[in-house]
Amino acid sequence: MATPAAFSAPLIEKHTIGYVPPEDRHGKVRDLFTLWFGGNIAPLPIVTGALGVQLFHLNLLWGIVAILVGHLVGGVLMALHSAQGPQMGIPQMIQSRAQFGSLGALLVVLIAGVMYIGFFASNIVLAGKSLHGVVDSVPVPVGIVIGAVGSGIIGIIGYRFIHVLNRIGTWVLGIGIVVGFGYIFTHIQTDDFLTRGSFNLSGWLATVSLAALWQIAFAPYVSDYSRYLPADVKVSSTFWTTYLGSALGSSLAFIFGAVAVLATPVGMDTMDAVKLATGSIGPLMLVLFLLSVISHNALNLYGAVLSLITLVQTFAYRWIPTAKSRAVISIIVLLACCFAAVGASKDFIGHFVDMVLVLLVVLVPWTAINLIDFYAIHKGQYDIQSIFQVDGGIYGRYNPQALLAYAIGIAVQIPFMNTPLCVGPVSAHINGADLSWLVGLLVTSPLYFWLANRDTSYRRRMMGGKLASSL
């Protein structure tokens, strides 16, 4: 049954990083399915999914298997973060203060903010190129600005509008991609559609990692979009609607990219292959994907702004900004990204994707620590007031156990990583497959659990948090 807040919630979001009180909670848990399904049917996941057959030379069958395995595994972590939102009622990044301390969390928040800005800038370039592809008379720089402004308006309006657009987008994009699949399968232009490529372990592992990392990249902001739900929403409901929406939408987009590339001659750019493979409906597909980029990119701007506010609020702890402050910061970020994107080199997207791969190496241990702390140590019970205090309240300025586990979690990934910054010896031995994320999770999770449970003062703070949150 709809709550009164569902009818009275303003279209323009008034909250930023502050706690969302019960009277302002609204929405339905099924909205999480449409948000993550519709948001993941877009050009960037299509291009990423094509890499399994383009770069790693898998055939269609093994490419699909790798894509599904990666999204199904990575989606578990992403959805577990989402389930924190209704219980906490605050954004994901500021919640990290409960694990790392008020100052200890700064590095992770900064890294997440830079990643969001990188994704936002990359997507406005992609939007500019897509708009130019649809309408030749629109130069790419003009398309970049149009894409940025569109995403900016959505991001400034905020939470409720983002959900509304993705409810619509789920139906439109869902039907569109099914029609696209149907057209491609009935108009295959190659003789080696099913036989091009073959199984190779390194390529299969690399494709699994790409899909899993796609899901993990959402972890720092996924609960931002569930925090307005009523606190009594079941954790399992939040988990499954998020998981199914994200895993299904992402898998469809990844597989669509692989299918389009295999259905067209070797060597084509992925989006050119999509346009050719979809024939007469190609222009319509490009328009749908363009609208998807603009809509989904609002999430990156929204996350970047919340991260910047969190950084500032760490030092100006009495400041909980309003919608006006969020709008001003959004415009500043938007203008800076437009300036950088318009004046950047042709390989702008490639450089930012490389940067994101490096940043994910340092976000994976954060994911492990956050999930272990929430589900195994604190069991969802935190003192919200302490999280907003300058000294961290019962959580302190630093949590040595979390910081130690975090540092070790980064270090153990180095031999297994494959990024522009470093190619580890293990990764080089298996032809470039990046398994650093898996190693980081497997080492950091039990290590942090062990360290946190050995620290008697931490356990006392944990009990204090439970008592405070129950008052």
How do residues 258-300 score in pLDDT, each as one tens digit?
999 999 988 888 888 888 888 888 888 888 888 888 887 888 8
Q: Is residue 424 part of a domain?
A: no
Q: Is residue 420 part of a domain?
A: no
Q: Is residue 157 part of a domain?
A: yes
Model pLDDT, residue 349: 54
Q: Is residue 95 part of a domain?
A: yes
> CB neighbours (10 Å) of residue 194?
12
Model pLDDT, residue 468: 41
Q: Is residue 411 part of a domain?
A: no
Of the candidates 373, 467, 440, the residue with the CA atom closest to the CA atom of residue 101? 373
Q: Which region among 355-359, 376-380, 410-414 has the lowest average model confidence (pLDDT)? A: 355-359
CATH number at residue 193: 1.10.4160.10
How do residues 4-50 score in pLDDT, each as one tens digit?
444 455 566 666 777 888 887 878 888 899 889 988 888 888 888 99
1 pLDDT band, cuts 50/70/90, is very low
Q: Contact, 116 vs 300, CB < 8 A?
A: yes
Model pLDDT, residue 182: 92
Q: How many domains does the chain have?
A: 1
Three-state SS string over the chain comes to: CCCHHHHHCCCCCCCCCCCCCHHHCCCCCCHHHHHHHHCCCCHHHHHHHHHHHHCCCCCHHHHHHHHHHHHHHHHHHHHHHHCCHHHHCCCHHHHCHHHHCCCCCHHHHHHHHHHHHHHHHHHHHHHHHHHHHHCCCCCHHHHHHHHHHHHHHHHHHCHHHHHHHHHHHHHHHHHHHHHHHHHHHHCCCCCCCCCCCCCCHHHHHHHHHHHHHHHHCCCCCHHHHCCCCCCCCCHHHHHHHHHHHHHHHHHHHHHHHHHHHHCCCCCCCHHHHHHHHCHHHHHHHHHHHHHHHHHHHHHHHHHHHHHHHHHHHHHCCCCCCCHHHHHHHHHHHHHHHHHHHHHCCCCHHHHHHHHHHHHHHHHHHHHHHHHHHHHHHCCCCCCHHHHCCCCCHHHCCCCHHHHHHHHHHHHCCHHHCECCCCECHHHHHCCCCCCHHHHHHHHHHHHHHHHHHHCHHHHHHHHHHHHHHCC
Q: Is residue 456 part of a domain?
A: no
Q: Contact, 126 vs 293, CB < 8 A?
A: yes
Q: Is residue 54 part of a domain?
A: yes
Quote the domain boundaries for residue 64. 25-348
Q: Is residue 366 part of a domain?
A: no
Q: Which region among 1-15, 169-183, 241-255, 346-360 has the lowest average model confidence (pLDDT)? A: 1-15
Model pLDDT, residue 412: 94
Summarize the confidence of residues 87-113 as an average pLDDT. Answer: 88
